[in-house]
Chain A
Amino acid sequence: MSGALVSPDLFTLCKVLVGGILRILSDGVLAATPVGSPVEGLRGLGYFLVEDWLVTLLAWVVAITIMVTWAAAIQLLTIMWMERKFYARLQDRYGIMVSIWSLPFWPFSWWAKRRNKPTHRGLGYLQNVADGVKLIQKENITPASADRAMFHTAPVMIASSTILIFAALPFSEGFVIANVPLSLLFILATFSIAPLGILIAGWASNNKYSLIGGMRAAAQLMAYEIPLLLAIVAVLIYSGTLNVIDIVQRQEVPLAASGPLSYIPSWNIFSIPQFIGFAVFFVAIMAEMERIPFDIPEAEAELVEGWTTEYTGMRFGLVFGFKWLRALAGSALVVILYFGGWSGPVFTTLTPYVGGTAIPIPIIPHEVWFLLKVYFVFLIFVWISWSVPRVRIDQILNIGWKKLIPLSLLAIIVAAVFAAFGPYLGGIR
């Protein structure tokens, strides 16, 4: 019984879709070129269109396009909009309010005037699109004494490694490109390539602010990757697998077989020994995203814009926007590891009986549960970001090396003890 919209698999769906379209095209070609007609030689095209390798290749292309559009365009715009609206409300102002009627050209201006639409009282969802369009129009300046090759390579490294995260990051048990056995490790590995790109970007700009920002970014990201990985080990002791879909399925069962606890799912956040690991992971992933309490790589009061100072135009938009994509991936990791992934609290399916067989219909599909939880976690990040002051450079390394690493080791020990002796303590987990 599956509660996901994309079922059983994104690739299988795409293959059915692409195969159907190609079959119709092939039938059309074969009907248009009957045997004996002067265009008989084109019949080979009809047979070529339904070859299995072509269908598979096109299905992969369509699946990857859907995933990249979904994650890197729609979700990126959504969480950027959420952050800007939410922190504006925290600062007691409205935030972005540009609506589609604010567009200054025909037919929108005409339509707004005619219908007497208020032009700047919208939700502001399209503000980030407008910012992107503006950034594309700007000139791409390369500093005169910058290292040109490295300066142009660094955004590519950062952007490509960030998009590569979404090759293995699932939005539900079917909405995933590649369900590989080691997908959690793959996500972490692609997460850890970006610091090298940041360092190279900071060095190649030939600017002291960029250089200092790059060095701070590298020191911070490396320091916080260690407690991040160690906190995940505590989860792995419980789940026993590195596949994110299996990790979520371990958390779908109820906490107890009967009684009031059976209404609570066994998410890792509800298990007592995992809570230390959760706290460590939460802080460490926040530092990995370079969000505000840990944003010393681009502390705008000290360094102009950190390692992105010398980037202009859409290249700046790329390195700036990909911070949000990393934030999205980090929030999704928190949800997968500790908040039960896409498992809904109660009643995700109705089962009407049609002809004696039960058909599961998701009332709230798994994708929606997952996105709701991701947005919730992301809003907590935003809330913390815009409420606390920035930590200093010496404090940031002290927190990372002296507090988080011992705490994550403690989390591993506690999780191991509870995993080993839990059955003797009445099944506590």
Chain B
Amino acid sequence: MAVDWQLAAFLVLSVVELGGSIMVVVSRKLVHAVFWLSVTLITIGGIYLLLGAEFIFLIQIIVYAGAILPIFTFGIMLTRRKIMEEVTPGEVPQEPVPETPEEGTP
């Protein structure tokens, strides 16, 4: 029973990477997309490791997971508008209905 462990690791990593990259474009929330992007980038690093490039693997993690993604998240978090609004448990927060002008006013 000879298992090709490198092939198995490559298959697992590539499946996780492809799933993560699909989730990046499918996610509705931008921070979720950034999380899946981190999954994708770290598994790409794992494929570098399988190819024998340990240095590129570690630099990939330092640069992408450690620096680029926090910058992304940093920018994205400034765009979220609803923080600490009054919500009763179990209720989906609703956008406030814009006031309609009263009839009869000029």
Contact = CB atoms under 8 A, between A and B. Distances in A.
B87 A199 contact: no
Nearest to B69: A196
Contact of A206 (B58, B73, B83, B88): B83
Interface string A204-235: 10111001001100110110010001000000
Given A206-B83, A225-B66, A199 B73 contact: yes
A182 B59 CA distance: 11
Interface stretch (B9-17, B30-38, B95-103): B30-38
Q: Give the interface SS of chain A, mostly helix, strand, loop or mixed.
A: helix
Nearest to B45: A189
A3 interface: no
A222 B77 CA distance: 16
Contacts of B73: 196, 199-200, 203, 218
A222 B67 contact: yes
Nearest to B93: A145
A186 B74 contact: no
Interface residues of A, number: 35
A408 to B, nearest CB: 16
Q: Which of B66, B67, B89 has the most CB of A within 10 A?
A: B66
Contacts of A188: 58, 62
Given A147-B29, A182-B55, A208-B84, A189 B74 contact: no
Interface string A184-196: 0110111011011
A144 B93 CA distance: 11
Contact of B35 (A153, A195, A215): A153
A215 B76 CA distance: 11
B25 interface: no
A150 interface: yes
B57 to A, nearest CB: 8
B77 A199 contact: yes
Interface in B20-78: 29, 31-32, 35, 38, 54-55, 58-59, 61-62, 65-67, 69-71, 73-74, 77
Nearest to B71: A222
A192 B29 CA distance: 24
A221 B29 CA distance: 25
B58 A199 contact: no
A222 B55 CA distance: 21
Given A192-B61, A203-B80, A144 B89 contact: yes
Contacts of B59: 185
Contacts of A222: 66-67, 70-71
Q: Which of B31, B55, B77, B89 has the most CB of A within 10 A?
A: B77
B104 interface: no
B55 A185 contact: yes
Given A150-B31, A182-B58, A192-B61, A199 B67 contact: no
B106 interface: no
A218 B32 contact: no
Contacts of B61: 189-190, 192-193
B62 A192 contact: yes
B70 A196 contact: yes
Nearest to A180: B54
A192 B87 CA distance: 35
Contacts of A202: 77
Given A195-B70, A208-B84, A218-B73, A189 B62 contact: yes
A221 B38 CA distance: 17
A219 B84 contact: no
Given A181-B54, A203-B77, A211 B29 contact: no
B83 A193 contact: no
Given A150-B32, A206-B84, A185 B67 contact: no
Contacts of A144: 87-90
Contacts of B58: 182, 185-186, 188-189
Contacts of B38: 196
B35 A192 contact: no
Contacts of B54: 180-182
B53 to A, nearest CB: 11
Nearest to A186: B58
Given A182-B55, A196-B38, A203-B31, A215 B69 contact: no
Interface of B: 29, 31-32, 35, 38, 54-55, 58-59, 61-62, 65-67, 69-71, 73-74, 77, 80, 83-85, 87-90, 93
5 contacts: A144-B89, A150-B31, A200-B73, A208-B84, A229-B62
Closest 4 A/B residue pairs (Cβ) = A192-B66, A189-B61, A144-B89, A185-B58
